[in-house]
Structure formats: structure tokens, C-alpha cells
């Protein structure tokens, strides 16, 4: 029987290989003029642009403001979504009453609401954070409700037989029982936060990575535009990885 | 070792009815059931699926309420779950977010004992079931047999007077089952609690109990009571008798 898992030393290589291949292909299509290199800057032009925004410090100031907005919005939405979701999930009547509305709100594309947020909160940080909250709160809420409602009935029964009632049953059994589902919702929410924030920044902001992508494009500094896009990819991957590590650290019992 | 602190108490079931109604149709599970279990006795409830044996167990545990009649434990009417009775389920029902030790500590937390006390008792119980070495493992890191040992340790944490077991070993393979049965017999001797075991296995019932109560029919009623004999030929005859009653 062949071992279906790659050896440990091979793993990082296998992870890196497709990325290297992609960059090579990217370079190739511009070299052979398959795509106009002024429209799709080759990696050899993007790398210096990346160096420039990094060494000037511009990148870190924009990254800071983007992450701050996404982080604040995410944190508010996460706390609200989990707290309200646990309450709703535990009380069936409330669940039946609230879930359809949450489902409708979730289906609304957040970007379509940006004009409304701008009207209500003005251009700037507040409307962008509001959009992040909107985008994150519904998936977090719905997965929390689902998790709280689907806690293993046997565990509830066992806990009741050991004298757990009311608040303690909730805090010690229902909440940890719902955690795997809550974590799924939070991970989804984290990726939405970045996605929606960058879109919002492209439309109505004067700083942040999304704004820089748009600005570079408007001033026809195409390599710089791609440099910022590369940064977004790296940040997205890094955040997701950090979340995975954090969850494993905090909840070692969760199924991988 | 705090052995034999939980002296078992008697269970009196009188005129017990249990009905469920679903979409207007009434389902009578138990009707006019009379059963007395002596203090410290090991009683097995055996019967086919749907005879109401698990329902009876949950009624004694206080997880369900009787439709009519009464259940008394130690002279007091059962109105809900209590630390004097614990129940062990077939599918272990360990909390996956807790280690073995933390699982055993759960009922002690509910009973309000202090942190050091909980830790001490839980360690001691894990030792009794032979799992001291696995105290810090999560349920998913334990085999089925080990999980059920933790389940037993958890059930014994608060020195219950009545230990209720709902087909606790039916998920285990034959060898594991053998070990768990041996453990249960030891625990009964050591903790001296009253034991009510719901099982599908005639051999298990005859081997472990002082008395086998055979439930049958719909609604469920007691069709026979057998006191297992030490004599091999008698035991074989009893086995045949119970199997015949179960319609096997």
C-alpha cells in the first residue's frame, strides 16, 4: 500500500510549487506578448513597485488603517453575532421569528448598501466599518444560531441528569457544544471582512489598500496596482493561517 | 479510598403509567407498573426494543415525568434529576471539549464542591476505572471502551445511591465488553450503590445481576422476574426461559 500522505519535507515544496508555477506563467504571457505588458505588468515590474511601497513605508500605513477598520468591524460583529445568536438558538420561538430576517439580510450584497451607509454615516471610516459589520454579523449570527440549536441532545440529557439547569446548562454545555459551528462562522466572517472592506475602500476612502489599488489604477501606475493586489493575497492567506493556528491552540479538541 | 460511602437506596415504583401523545395519537409505553428494587440490589431490565425499559430508567433518573403513579427513591418522590441518581448512556455522552478528568469533574462542579476537592475525587475515580494515565486526554483521543470507563467514573463521582445504566456496553466489542462487565461488578461491590441495568443481552443480565426483570408487551409490563442461579445447569435453564419469554 502506498502512503497517501506526502512526506513532511515535501509539504512546503508542494505548497510553494503551484505558486512559483503561476508566477512563471504570469511572466511568460507578458514576455511573449500574449498580453500587453502595460496592462498586465510582469512580475519583474511588480517586484520593484512592491519594494518601493514597502521601503517608503506607505504600505504599512495603509495596511494599518485597513486592518484597523476590518478588525474593529469584525470584532463588533463577532461579539454581537455570537451573543445574540446564542440567545436566539436556545429559544426556539425566537429562532423561528428571527432566522428568516437574518437570512434575507445575509443575501443582500453589502456593497449595494454602501450608498445607504454613506448617506447615514457620511464618507469615511464610519461607513466602512458599518459595512464590515453588516457583512460579518449575518454569517456569524446564523452559524451561531445553527450551532446552539444543534447541540447534541445526548449531551444535554447527560448534563441535566448530573444536575445542570438553566444558566449553567447553557454556559457549560450549550455554548461549548455550539463552538465548532461558531468558529466556522467566525472564519467565514473574517474573510468577508477583508473582502468587503477593500471593496468599500475602492469607492469611498482616502487611505487603505483598496484605495491604493484604485488610486494606482487611476494614475496609470499599473505595476503599483498589481503590487497592492499581491499584498492583498498575502494578507488574506496570512490571516486565514493565523486563524487556523489560533483555533487549534484554543480548542485542541475540535475536529480538524 | 472512600469506598462504600454511597450506600444504595431502595426504589419503589407504584402504579406507573407513561403515555406519549403525538399528533393526537396516544402511545402508552408503560401501564400500571409495579416494581420494588431493594437497597444495594443489582437489577437488570431486559426486553425487546420498544418495551419501555429505557423510558423506565429515564423516569427513575427524573429526566421524564410519569403520566400517572409514583416513583420513590429512599422514601422520597422523584420530581427531577438529583445527585442521588446518575445515569450512564450507551453512547458515552462525554463532553468532547473536556478532558477525561474534566468530564469526571462535571457533576462535582454541579454539586458545588471546591476546585481542589473536585480534582482529587475525579483523579481517584479515574484510578478506580483504570484510566489515571489518560486523565488529560480528550474523548476523541480515547477508544470506545475507555470512553465508557470515563462515563462510569463520571457517574460515580458524586457517590450516587442509584446507578442507572442504559445499555452501557452494547457499542463495545466482545473483549472490551467482558472487561467493562467485570469493572461494573467490581464497582457495584466497592461503591455499594443500587444498580439498575437496561440491557439487550440475557447473558450480561444473568451474569451481573441479583435479579433479572423481564419486560414485555405493549404497553410494557413485567412478564417475569428471575434470580440468577449459581448452579450451571439452572443458569442454562434460566437463560432458555428468558429467551423464550423474549420470543427469541
Beta bridge partners of B13: B35, B71
Lookup: cell for B69: 403513579
Identify the closest residue of chain B to A167 by CA–CA distance: B110
Alpha carbon distance A186, B41 (integer Å): 52
B89:A157 CB<8 A: yes
Q: Dihedral sign for Cα A208, A213, A217, A219, please.
A: positive
CATH code linked to domain A59-250: 1.10.3720.10
Alpha carbon distance A153, B93 (integer Å): 9
What is the length of chain A? 256
* Residue B99 pLDDT: 95
Q: Name the residue ranges covered by the structural domains of chain B.
A: 1-84+160-248, 95-159
Q: What are phi and psi of A36, to 5 degrees?
A: -60, 115
Lookup: cell for A85: 445568536
CB B224 within 8 A of CB B245: yes
Residue A180 distance to chain B (closest CA, Å): 10
Q: Which residues of B touch A155 (CB under 8 A)?
A: 93, 95
* Residue carrying the nine cell digits 457583512: A135
Closest-CA residue to B183 (of B127, B221, B248):
B127
* Residue B3 pLDDT: 39
**Hey, what CATH topology would domain B1-84+160-248 get?**
Rossmann fold (3.40.50)
* Residue A2 pLDDT: 54
* Residue A64 pLDDT: 95
What is the length of chain B? 248
A253:B81 CB<8 A: no
Q: Name the residue ranges covered by the structural domains of chain A.
A: 59-250
Parallel, antiparallel, or unpaired: how do β-strands B42-46 and B211-216 relate?
Answer: parallel
Q: Which of B96, B108, B109, B168 to mutate to test the interface with A (most CBs of A within 10 A)?
A: B96
Summarize pLDDT for A88-114 with one digit per residue, the tens: 887 878 888 887 888 888 888 888 888
Side by side, the strands of the sheet bearing B68-73 are B25-37, B11-22, B68-73, B76-77
Q: Which of A151, A155, A160, A161 to mutate to test the interface with B (most CBs of B within 10 A)?
A: A161
- Average pLDDT over chain A reads 90
- Could you count the other beta carbons within 10 Å of the beta carbon of residue A44? 13
DSSP letter (8 states) at residue B224: E
Cβ neighbors of A189 (< 8 A, separation 6 or more) are: A74, A77, A78, A81, A135, A136, A137, A139, A140
In angstroms, how far is CA A236 from the centroid of its own chain? 7
Q: Dihedral sign for Cα B45, B51, B53, B56, please.
A: negative
Q: Which of A147, A158, A164 to mutate to test the interface with B (most CBs of B within 10 A)?
A: A158
Query: Is the peptide bond between B219 and the residue preceding it cis, with omega within 30 degrees of 0?
Result: yes
Lookup: cell for A15: 505548497
- Could you count the other beta carbons within 10 Å of the beta carbon of residue A32? 8
Q: Which of B97, B110, B138 comes nearest A163 by C-beta?
A: B110
A161:B87 CB<8 A: yes
**Residues of chain B contacting A, Cβ within 8 Å:** 61-63, 81-83, 85-87, 89, 91, 93, 95-98, 106-107, 109-111, 138-140, 154, 158
B83:A163 CB<8 A: yes
Identify the closest residue of chain B to A158 by CA–CA distance: B93
Residue B234, Cβ density class (10 Å: 0-12 exposed, 13-18 middle, ≥19 buried) = exposed
Alpha carbon distance A29, B106 (integer Å): 63
Q: Among A37-41, A116-120, B35-39, B215-219, where is mean pLDDT lowest? A: B215-219
CA distances from A178 to A187, A188, B34, B98, B107 (A): 15, 16, 41, 14, 21
Query: Mean per-residue pLDDT for A27-42?
Result: 91
Lookup: cell for A171: 454556559
Say yes or no: A248 contacts chain B, CB-CB below 8 A. Answer: no
Residue B86 distance to chain A (closest CA, Å): 6
Element housing B145 (H / E): helix B144-156
Say yes or no: A255 contacts chain B, CB-CB below 8 A. Answer: yes
Percent of chain A scored above 70 by pLDDT?
Answer: 98
* Residue A3 pLDDT: 60
* Residue B4 pLDDT: 42
* Residue B24 pLDDT: 78
Summarize pLDDT for A140-196 with one digit per residue, the tens: 999 999 898 888 888 999 999 998 888 889 899 989 999 999 999 999 999 999 999
Lookup: cell for B7: 450506600
Lookup: cell for B223: 412478564
* Residue A7 pLDDT: 78
Cβ neighbors of A107 (< 8 A, separation 6 or more) are: none
CB B58 within 8 A of CB B79: no
Q: Which of A159, A173, A253 comes nearest B138 by C-beta?
A: A253
- For residue A54, pLDDT over 90 is answered with yes
CB A68 within 8 A of CB A128: no
Alpha carbon distance A178, A169 (integer Å): 13
Residue A46 distance to chain B (closest CA, Å): 47
CA angle A165-B83-B2, nearest 5°?
A: 140
Alpha carbon distance A94, A122 (integer Å): 34
Lookup: cell for B215: 419486560
* Residue carrying the nine cell digits 445481576: B209
- Interface confidence, given as ipTM, is 0.85
Identify the closest residue of chain A to B91 by CA–CA distance: A154
Alpha carbon distance A105, A94 (integer Å): 17
Q: Which residues of A touch B158 (CB under 8 A)?
A: 162
For chain B, 248 residues long, the average pLDDT of each consecutive 10-residue run is 56 90 83 90 90 91 92 89 88 92 95 91 94 93 92 91 91 88 90 90 91 87 87 86 84
Amino acid at each position: 500500500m502506498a502512503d497517501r500522505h506526502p512526506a513532511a519535507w515535501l509539504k512546503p515544496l508542494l505548497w510553494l510549487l503551484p505558486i512559483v508555477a503561476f508566477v512563471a506563467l504570469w511572466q511568460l504571457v507578458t514576455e511573449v506578448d500574449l498580453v500587453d505588458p502595460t496592462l498586465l505588468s510582469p512580475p519583474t515590474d511588480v517586484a520593484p513597485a512592491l519594494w518601493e511601497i514597502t521601503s517608503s513605508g506607505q504600505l504599512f500605513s495603509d495596511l494599518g488603517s485597513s486592518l484597523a477598520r476590518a478588525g474593529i468591524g469584525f470584532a463588533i460583529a463577532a461579539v454581537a453575532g455570537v451573543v445574540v445568536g446564542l440567545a436566539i438558538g436556545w429559544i426556539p420561538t425566537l429562532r423561528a421569528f428571527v432566522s428568516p430576517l437574518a437570512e434575507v439580510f445575509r443575501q443582500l450584497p453589502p456593497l449595494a448598501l454602501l450608498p445607504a451607509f454613506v448617506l447615514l454615516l457620511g464618507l469615511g471610516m464610519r461607513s466602512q466599518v458599518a459595512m464590515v459589520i453588516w457583512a460579518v454579523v449575518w454569517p456569524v449570527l446564523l452559524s451561531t444560531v445553527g450551532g446552539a440549536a444543534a447541540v447534541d441532545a445526548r449531551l444535554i440529557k447527560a448534563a441535566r441528569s448530573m444536575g445542570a439547569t438553566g444558566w449553567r446548562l447553557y454556559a457549560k454545555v450549550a455554548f461549548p457544544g455550539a463552538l465548532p459551528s461558531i468558529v466556522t462562522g467566525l472564519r467565514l466572517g473574517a474573510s468577508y471582512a477583508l473582502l468587503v472592506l477593500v471593496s468599500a475602500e475602492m469607492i469611498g476612502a482616502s487611505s487603505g489598500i483598496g484605495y491604493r489599488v484604485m488610486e494606482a489604477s487611476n494614475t496609470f501606475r499599473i505595476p503599483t496596482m498589481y503590487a497592492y493586489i499581491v499584498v492583498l493575497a498575502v494578507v488574506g492567506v496570512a490571516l486565514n493561517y493565523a486563524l487556523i493556528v489560533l483555533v487549534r491552540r484554543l480548542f485542541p479538541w475540535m475536529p480538524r | 479510598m472512600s469506598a462504600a460511602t454511597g450506600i444504595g437506596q431502595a426504589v419503589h415504583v407504584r402504579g406507573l403509567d407513561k403515555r406519549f401523545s403525538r399528533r393526537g395519537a396516544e402511545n402508552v409505553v408503560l401501564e400500571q407498573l409495579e416494581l420494588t428494587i431493594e437497597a444495594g440490589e443489582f437489577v437488570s431490565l431486559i426486553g425487546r426494543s420498544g418495551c419501555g425499559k429505557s423510558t423506565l430508567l429515564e423516569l427513575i433518573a427524573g429526566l421524564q415525568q410519569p403520566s400517572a403513579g409514583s416513583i420513590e427513591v429512599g422514601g422520597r418522590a422523584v420530581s427531577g434529576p438529583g445527585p442521588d441518581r446518575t445515569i450512564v448512556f450507551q453512547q458515552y455522552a462525554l463532553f468532547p471539549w473536556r478532558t477525561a478528568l474534566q468530564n469526571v469533574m462535571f457533576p462535582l462542579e454541579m454539586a458545588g464542591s471546591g476546585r481542589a476537592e473536585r480534582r482529587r475525587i475525579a483523579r481517584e475515580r479515574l484510578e478506580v476505572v483504570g484510566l489515571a494515565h489518560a486523565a488529560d486526554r480528550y474523548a476523541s483521543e480515547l477508544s470506545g471502551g475507555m470512553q465508557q470507563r470515563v462515563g462510569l467514573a463520571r457517574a460515580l463521582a458524586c457517590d450516587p445511591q442509584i446507578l442507572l445504566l442504559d445499555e452501557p456496553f452494547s457499542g463495545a466489542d466482545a473483549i472490551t465488553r467482558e472487561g467493562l462487565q467485570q469493572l461494573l461488578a467490581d464497582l457495584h461491590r466497592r461503591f455499594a450503590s443500587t444498580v439498575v441495568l437496561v440491557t439487550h443481552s440475557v447473558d450480561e443480565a444473568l451474569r451481573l445481576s441479583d435479579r433479572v426483570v423481564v419486560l414485555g408487551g405493549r404497553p410494557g409490563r413485567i412478564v417475569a422476574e428471575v434470580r440468577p442461579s449459581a448452579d450451571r445447569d439452572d443458569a442454562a435453564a434460566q437463560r432458555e426461559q428468558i429467551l423464550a419469554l423474549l420470543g427469541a
